[in-house]
Structure 1
Amino acid sequence: MSKFIATVFYVGYLRPAPGTWGSLAGVLLALAIQVFGGFPALAVATVVVFGLGWWATAAMTRGGGNHDPSEIVIDEVVGQWIALFVVSYGSWSMGLPALAMYPGWIAGFLFFRLFDIWKPWLVGWADRRGDALGVMLDDVIAGVFAAIAVTLLGGFYHMVIL
């Protein structure tokens, strides 16, 4: 069960770039959650999946030499969902269809991948922890950075371009 959860239904075994595949799965799952439950459902799902992901990651890496195998992508899903909180909340609070804000979904995906790969500042600190919590936290922090970037980009678009 831990492998099924940690690899997000085995998406983590897709090559190349399993982290990108995991993030894409995260976007698709977030869209589905958004359609059926809106932002509140996505927020609750994020907390639940973080806990499950932490447990599954610890179980999969226990006794192994690699604290963050590339096939573990549940952390990407959680981080991606956090990156999309701004867009999810915006469409939910305005009563818009989820895809009406498609540029935000795309920006959230791209910014999350940037911060997850680049690992600036606190993202890198969490990654260097070398444990299951660090595996999850680096993506949570990358998701927060991406959400801030999406907010700034959205603000720029609405204040300057429109």
Structure 2
Amino acid sequence: MIRAITTFFYVGHLRPAPGTYGSLVALALGVLIDGYLGFPALLGATLAVTWLGFWACAKDLKDRPEEDPSEIVIDEVAGQWLALLFPAAAFFFGPGKEGFLPWPAWVGAFLLFRLFDIWKPSLVGKADARHDPVGVMLDDLWAGVFAGISAIVLGVLWHLVLFS
């Protein structure tokens, strides 16, 4: 059961680039959760998968604490959903948006999350350098925060240029 959680129901066994597959599956599920159930459900799902990820990674890596196996993608799910929360919140609290996020929002959240997850700048890299189960989760959560903030900034700039 632990391996099913950490590999997000075995998505982490897809090759090549299991982290990208994990992010894509997370993106699709996140867009569906937000579109059908709304922002509060996406927020709840993000909190739940984050808690579950910390717990499952600690269990899965207890005998190999310094590893970060590529098949563990629950961290990508948590980070991708965190990145998606930013544009989802902007539309939820903004003027009259219902239904699915428009395509630039979720595409931007995905691309920016993958950029920060692979590049590992600043706090992302520091979390990754921990080489422990907490670091496995934290680097992707920081990447999600950076991606979410960047998505909002780029969205604002896009609208300023487009509508000025």
TM-score class, shorter: over 0.9
Whether 1:15 aligns to 2:15 is yes
Asked if the contact 2:116–2:147 (Cα under 8 Å) also holds between the matched residues in 1, the reply is: yes
Quick check: which one's helix share is greater? Answer: 1
What TM-score, normalized to structure 2?
Answer: 0.93
* Number of corresponding residues: 161
Distance 1:65 1:144, change over 3 A: closer
Q: Name segments (4+ residues, structure 1) moved above 4 Å.
A: none
Whether 1:51 aligns to 2:51 is yes
- SS of 1:98's equivalent in the other structure is coil
Offset from partner CA, 1:27-48 (integer Å, 9 cap, x none): 0110121123211111111111
Gaps of 5+ in 1: none
1:133 to partner: Cα distance: 1.0
Aligned residue number for residue 95 of structure 1 = 97
In 1, Cα distance between the equivalents of 2:82 and 2:130? 21
Whether 1:125 aligns to 2:126 is yes
1:66 to partner: Cα distance: 4.8
Of stretches 28-37 and 13-22 in structure 1, the one that deviates more from structure 2 is: 28-37
- SS of 2:38's equivalent in the other structure is helix
Asked if the contact 1:67–1:130 (Cα under 8 Å) also holds between the matched residues in 2, the reply is: yes
Q: Give the partner amino acid of 1:97.
A: G
1:92 to partner: Cα distance: 3.0
- SS of 1:16's equivalent in the other structure is coil
Whether 1:29 aligns to 2:25 is no
In 2, Cα distance between the equivalents of 1:122 and 1:160? 31
Distance 1:156 1:51, change over 3 A: same
Distance 1:36 1:96, change over 3 A: closer
Whether 1:139 aligns to 2:132 is no
1:52 to partner: Cα distance: 0.7
Distance 1:161 1:95, change over 3 A: closer
What TM-score, normalized to structure 1?
Answer: 0.94
1:117 to partner: Cα distance: 0.3
Percent of paired sites with the same residue: 52
1:65 to partner: Cα distance: 6.3
Query: How is 1:142-157 mapped onto 2 (pairs within 5 angstroms)?
Result: 142-157=143-158
- SS of 1:58's equivalent in the other structure is helix
In 1, Cα distance between the equivalents of 2:36 and 2:3? 27
**What value does the CA root-mean-square deviation take over the aligned residues?**
1.3
Offset from partner CA, 1:59-102 (integer Å, 9 cap, x none): 22121265210000000011001111122123334333214x11
Asked if the contact 1:91–1:97 (Cα under 8 Å) also holds between the matched residues in 2, the reply is: no
